[in-house]
Amino acid sequence: MAMKVEVVSTESIKLSSPTPSHHREFKFCLLDQLAPPFYVPVILFYSAPDDKVAPDSASVTGNLKTSLSQALSLFYPLGGRVKGNAAINCNDDGVLYLEAKAHFKLSEVLSNSDINQLQQFLPFSPYRVIPNIEEQVIVGVQATFFNCGSIGIGICISHKIADGASVFTFLTAWSEIAVNGVDGETILKTPFLKASELFQPKDINFQMPSGVISKEKLLTKRFRFDGERLARLKTRFGSAAPTRVEAVTALIWKSAVEAARKRPEWNKKRPPSSAATHVVNIRSRIRPQPLPENALGNLWQSVVTPLMEPNKEVKLQEFAGILRKSMRTIDSEYLSALQGDNGLAKACENLMAAQKLAASAGEIELYRPAWVCTISVPMKNVVILMGTRCGDGIEAWITLAEHDMIAFERDDQLLQFIAPSP
C-alpha cells in the first residue's frame, strides 16, 4: 500500500524581529555566484520516547513556528529573496512553511527501502529548474505529523546561499532555540555572514551547464557501512591508515569501475578512463584565520583526481592514496589564489574539471532523532555520504545509470562491507 502524505496548511513564517536597514542587502561571495540554482534538501525524522507523552500537534507546531521565526532573525538573509546573481534582498518576506499529515507510522518509512517515497516529506522538489529565482523563497519547510506521534521535518535551502554545512548550522540553531529558547542554556553563536569579504564577488551571470541533470534512467540506492564493517574495511589498507570517508570513497570508486567494465559496450581496446571528484569543506583550511564552522555560504571546493587508466589493475590502497593526495591540493596556497584577482579563473578551472567528469541532527523537545536523510539526486555518478544515527557508521546514497547500478550492487568486494539496509 502506498504511503501518502497530505498537506493540510501552507503559510509564510516571518522573522521575529525586522532586519536593520544597514543589513538589507547580503552580498554573495564568488563561490555563491557559481553555485547551482537548486536547493539543498534535508529530512529529519523524530520519534517520541515511549516513556513520555508527546505534546499535541498544535503545541509542537506553535513551538516549531516560533523558534523558526527566531532562528531566521539570526540568519536573516534566509528570509529574503535572491537579487540577480549578486546579492539577497533581505526584505523579511519570510519562508514557506507547510504542515502535513502522514496517515501511517514512522516505522513504515524507516523500514522502506524505496527512496522515492521520501520526496513527499519536502515542501517542494529541490532540483526543479527555477525560471524566476527572484520570486522564489530561499527556504521551504514542511512539518509532517505521523499517526504514531512522530514528526518529520523536511527543509530545502537555496544552494545560492548555503552548502550542506550551512544547512546543518541553521538546523542546529533552530533546534537549540526550539528546545531552550533564545535565552536558554545554550549560547547561540551569531553566524558568520561575511564570506563576500574573503571571496570578492564578480560581475558574472553564471549559467548551469546543460547536461548536469541527467536524462538517462537513474537509480539511487543507499548502502550502509556500520562501525564494525568500517573497521574491517580499514584493515584492508594496511599502513595507509585512511579516514573513514577515504576508505568508503575508495571502495565505492573501485566497485563503480568494476561495474562499468561489465557494460555490453565496454571496449577493451579503447576503454574509458575514470576519475573521482570530492567536495571539500574549506572553512577550516583558510589561513591565517580559519573560518568558523557556522559561516554561511558555499564554502566548499571540488577536487578532481587524475584520470585512472582503465586497463590497469589498481588496488584499493591506491584509490585511497589518489583521493588523499587530490584533497590535499585544497590548501592555503590554493585558497589564497581563490581570494585573489584571479579567483574567478581558479574557481572556474576547478568547476569545469568537475563538470567534465560528472559523467548530525538537532533535537525537538521530548522527541528522539530517528533518521537524517536526503532524497535521490537526478545526476549520474553522484555519491552523498552521511553519518548514521549510531555515530560510528556511514550511509552512502549512490546514484548511477540503471545498468551500472545492477552490476555495482553485486560487486563481491562491496558486498563484504555493507550492512543490511534499511
DSSP string, 181-209: -TTSSS-PPPPB--HHHHS---S----PP
Pick the range with the lowest mean pLDDT from 77-86, 210-219, 231-240: 210-219
Q: How many helices (H) and strands (E) does the chain have?
A: 12, 14
| Domain identity same for 180 and 40 | yes
Within 8 A by CB and 6+ apart from 38, the residues are 126, 127, 158, 159
Pick the range with the lowest mean pLDDT from 22-36, 105-119, 161-175, 300-314: 300-314
Q: Which of 166, 198, 230 is the last residue of a domain?
A: 198
- Residue 100 structural domain: 5-198
Taking only the tens place, the pLDDT of each residue in 132-158 is 666 799 999 999 999 888 999 999 999
Phi, psi (degrees; rounded to nearest 5) at 171: -60, -40
Give dist(CA 175, CA 171) in Å, integer.
Answer: 6
- pTM here? 0.89
CATH number for 301 = 3.30.559.10
What's the average model confidence in pLDDT over 352-381?
64
DSSP one-letter code for 413: H
Mean pLDDT of the chain: 86
- Would you call 33 helix, strand, or coil by DSSP? helix
Q: Is the peptide bond before 422 cis (omega within 30 degrees of 0)?
A: yes
Classify residue 108: in a domain, yes or no: yes
Does the pLDDT at position 54 exceed 60? no
Q: Which of 170, 198, 226 is the last residue of a domain?
A: 198
Give dist(CA 200, CA 341) in Å, integer.
Answer: 9
Does the pLDDT at position 59 exceed 90? no
Classify residue 347: in a domain, yes or no: yes
What's the average model confidence in pLDDT over 359-365?
47
Q: Cell numbers of 125, please?
A: 522538489
Q: Cell numbers of 238, please?
A: 594496511
Classify residue 404: in a domain, yes or no: yes
Number of structural domains (the chain) is 2
| Domain identity same for 230 and 326 | yes
